[in-house]
């Protein structure tokens, strides 16, 4: 006889919360203290001087990032969102253009197009990787398409070889949003380095972090320099620097501080060990969950190494006869976190439904170039909608502050709940 579910009055698997994720230690404290002792918290200057490129620690971080990820140019910024916005700007995208993007990602991946007066066009996702594919992208290409933003969602690398081939065939640029996958690999290369511009996040809940921050990378020297210009008041330095291509050189303050750079430099050193722990936890959990009724653990292609930002499980309520909401409720009662879906498909956000973004009059959606062509109706990305509204359950089950015993308790809860489906079906 199976153990009674906590939801129905039994004892929960866990009576204490799972440990919070924390990667900070004495190394980061010492690095911050060194910055404080120097008296230089930031050295950027919005003028064409050597300080245009930032201070010592910012530049040290960029060189370390280039070496670690084997990429020619790394450009630090104050967030991955800023990196995405700057990337779209660096590609000379503007009003009348379209940018193909995933609907199942953080909102900035799509909003980056709007900032430059372009519009996002949403392609559907693969049901196993939750990423865009060459096939779903191809269906969205029009004469107005200028770029594709491909997201390595949950740390899973997208299948980039056919995507890049498709992009080159149509003369399109590609941005890789690798905010969630530092250290992941595809065909032996690091995720984040697979496209024309790649973006990493250093937000506080990522695998490594500096509180806030981001890194944009490119193997194209001109694109990298445009990223640096947009980062730091491009319009103020263009004349002195001798810039003749002024497209999108309205600059911003996307600059990283010396403190953030110092922390990020220490975190980068820890990335291999942190990722190895995540990979070990994920493998351990997958072994325990394999074969349980109604669920499919995350799949990893043979040509890739997952970055394991979160552990996303597909659930089939039709197979179990238990609604997803009730299953999640039962897991939480066992002391195990679980969430239904990830983010609502972006095109269902009010901004897209009401066609209001920049200003009061509907710009850029109201531009004549888009007349009658934009479709943000429910149903345009059926796989994404099914994953969010019906199938996906996810949580941070594999971070490096968890012990193997913690991971085992997560598996125990899933085994217990899925072993009591009859009781769950009858429960009100």
Beta bridge partners of 75: 216
Rounded Cα distance, 286 and 279, in Å? 10
Q: CA 323 to CA 344: how far, in whole Å?
A: 19
Largest CA distance in the chain: 79
DSSP 98-166: EEEE-SSS-THHHHHHHHTT-EEEEPPB-TTT-SB-HHHHHTT--TTEEEEEEE-GGGPPP-HHHHHHH
Architecture label for domain 26-268: 3-Layer(aba) Sandwich (3.40)
Cα four-point dihedral sign 76, 79, 80, 84:
negative
The answer to whether 123 touches 151, Cβ cutoff 8 Å, is no
- pLDDT of the chain along its 428 residues, tens only? 469 999 999 999 999 999 999 999 999 999 999 999 999 999 999 999 999 999 999 999 999 999 999 999 999 999 999 999 999 999 999 999 999 999 999 999 999 999 999 999 999 999 999 999 999 999 999 999 999 999 999 999 999 999 999 999 999 999 999 999 999 999 999 999 999 999 999 999 999 999 999 999 999 999 999 999 999 999 999 999 999 999 999 999 999 999 999 999 999 999 999 999 999 999 999 999 999 999 999 999 899 999 999 999 999 999 999 999 999 999 999 999 999 999 999 999 999 999 999 999 999 999 999 998 999 999 999 999 999 999 999 999 999 999 999 999 999 999 999 999 999 998 87
The domain limits of the chain are: 26-268
């Amino acid at each position: 006889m199976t153990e009674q579910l906590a939801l129905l009055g039994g004892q929960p698997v866990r009576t204490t919360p799972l440990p919070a994720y924390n990667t900070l230690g004495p190394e980061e404290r010492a690095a911050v203290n060194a910055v404080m002792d120097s008296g230089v918290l930031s050295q950027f200057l919005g003028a064409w001087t050597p300080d245009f490129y930032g201070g010592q620690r910012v530049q040290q971080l960029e060189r370390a990032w280039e070496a670690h990820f084997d990429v020619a140019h790394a450009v630090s910024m104050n967030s991955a969102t800023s990196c995405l916005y700057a990337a779209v700007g660096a590609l000379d995208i503007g009003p009348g253009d379209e940018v193909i993007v995933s609907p199942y990602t953080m909102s900035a991946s799509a909003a980056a197009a709007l900032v430059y007066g372009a519009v996002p066009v949403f392609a559907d996702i693969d049901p196993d990787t939750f990423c865009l594919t060459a096939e779903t992208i191809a269906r969205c290409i029009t004469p107005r398409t200028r770029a594709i933003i491909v997201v390595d969602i949950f740390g899973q690398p997208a299948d980039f070889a056919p995507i890049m081939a498709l992009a080159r065939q149509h003369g399109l640029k590609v941005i890789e949003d690798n905010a969630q996958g530092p250290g992941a690999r595809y065909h032996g290369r690091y995720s984040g380095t697979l496209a024309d511009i790649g973006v990493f996040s250093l937000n506080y809940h990522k695998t490594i972090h500096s509180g806030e921050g981001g890194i944009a990378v490119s193997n194209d020297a001109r694109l990298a320099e445009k990223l640096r210009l947009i980062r730091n008041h491009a319009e103020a330095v263009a004349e002195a620097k001798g810039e003749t291509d002024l497209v999108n050189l309205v600059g911003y303050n996307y600059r990283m501080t010396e403190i953030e750079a110092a922390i990020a430099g220490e975190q980068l050193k820890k990335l291999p060990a942190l990722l190895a722990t995540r990979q070990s936890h994920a493998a351990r959990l997958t072994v325990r969950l394999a074969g349980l009724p109604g669920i499919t653990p995350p799949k990893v292609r043979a040509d890739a190494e997952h970055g394991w930002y979160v552990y996303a499980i597909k659930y089939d309520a039709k197979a179990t006869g238990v609604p997803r909401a009730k299953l999640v409720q039962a897991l939480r009662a066992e002391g195990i976190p679980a969430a239904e879906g990830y983010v609502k498909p972006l095109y269902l956000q009010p901004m897209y439904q009401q066609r209001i973004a920049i200003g009061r009059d509907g710009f850029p959606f109201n531009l004549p170039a888009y007349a009658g062509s934009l479709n943000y109706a429910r149903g345009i990305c059926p796989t994404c909608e099914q994953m969010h509204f019906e199938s996906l359950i996810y949580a941070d089950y594999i971070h490096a502050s968890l012990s193997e015993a913690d991971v085992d308790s997560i598996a125990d809860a899933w085994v217990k709940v899925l072993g009591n489906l009859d009781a769950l079906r009858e429960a009100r």
